[in-house]
Amino acid sequence: MSMVLLIAAGLAGLGGCLALALSQHRHWQAAMRSSSLPPRWARRLGWNLIAASLGLLIMRDGASFAMLFWPLLIGAGALVTAGLLSWKPTLLSPLSKWCTGRR
């Protein structure tokens, strides 16, 4: 159960960083290859996912260790997000299409 919470916290942190990046117009244009605006709720979703990752870590390890481990987890998610956006932003197009409801 402990490993499941850790993986869920990592995925929530990564998803939060990706949603925050896609909420910016420049990154949305690079991922979607269009001039449309990003959805308004993408930023709120990103912050909620990042907060959820903290909550999952608190459930797993308690508040003291979670406060130490959480910034490292978010930093890793931000590093992966920056790498994806600089290397191949079109890999995020399925995520951005899911965000808008287009298939």
**Whole-model pTM?**
0.86
Best CA proximity match to 23, nearest among 12, 47, 39: 39
pLDDT at 58: 96
Place of tokens 């996912």: 49
Two tokens, residue 12: 């929530």
The Cα–Cα gap between 53 and 67 comes to 11
The Cα–Cα gap between 103 and 96 comes to 10
The Cα–Cα gap between 57 and 73 comes to 10
- Tens digit of pLDDT per residue, the chain (103 long)? 789 999 999 999 999 999 898 888 888 888 877 777 777 888 898 999 999 999 999 999 999 999 999 999 999 999 999 999 888 887 777 766 666 555 4
Name residue 16's amino acid.
Answer: G
Q: What is the CB-side half-sphere exposure of residue 86 using CA atoms within 13 A?
A: 6
